[in-house]
Amino acid sequence: MARIENMLLTVLLAAMTMSIIVGNYVVSKQLPGPAPDSTVQNASKRGIAPFPGEIVTLDTVVNQLAKRGLTLYLPTKMVKGMELTAIWAKVLDGQVSFPIIVLYSNTGDTAIATAEIGIEITPMPEIPFSVRNSTTDRFDKVGEWTAFISSKMPVGHEEYRLKYGTEYSYCVVIKIGSLNYLFGFAPVLTEEEIIEICASMKPVKP
């Protein structure tokens, strides 16, 4: 029974992902059936509640994932003085659980809603997005990987709009192994810089 429940959960996660980075419920490859509940649609307009996690160390994340047979990848190239400022995760019984949120900033920002670069890491069987608007969305090659790229991803966080003066971010999603890496970039970086950062992903060794 537990195995069946896990399989169903995986399918549901592939059909709909809750993006913490952009503060939106993003419905991508929908399964046949009724439309998403109206509460989900309304939530996407309001953003989401604060992430119920805590800041953890990089070593903790890397070591715990390694024990599960998972390898964490992070960018090895940064621009404009961006530095890793925080890693957020839920911690249950001393164990880090997904999603894991990695933040980079050149202003010391450790808030998920407003850090200049955020990477939301979640186990997924595939990239859970499809092209909805060919003028803003596409699949492309980034480094060694196929990536979903959206130059205009809606952001539901009010704090983000107040800080950057826009309701959109540049989004890149890359699948490496069994993990999906959803990047959200504030409009302080060029597309060339964004692609360079995403293409520089390398494994972090314990």
Tens-digit pLDDT profile for residues 69-93: 999 999 999 999 999 999 999 998 9
Q: Among the residues of the chain, which ranges form H helices?
A: 2-15, 38-46, 58-67, 158-164, 191-199
What gap in Å lies between CA 179 and CA 175, rounded to an integer?
Answer: 6
Residue 152 DSSP SS3: strand
**Per-residue confidence band for 175, with pLDDT thresholds at 50, 70 and 90:** very high
pLDDT at residue 29 is higher than 60: no
Mean pLDDT of the chain: 84
What is the reported pLDDT for 173?
98
Domain ranges in the chain? 2-203
Based on its alpha-carbon atoms, the radius of gyration of the chain, rounded to whole angstroms, reads 16
pLDDT at residue 144 is higher than 60: yes
What is the reported pLDDT for 12?
38
What gap in Å lies between CA 114 and CA 19, rounded to an integer?
Answer: 14
pLDDT at residue 109 is higher than 90: yes
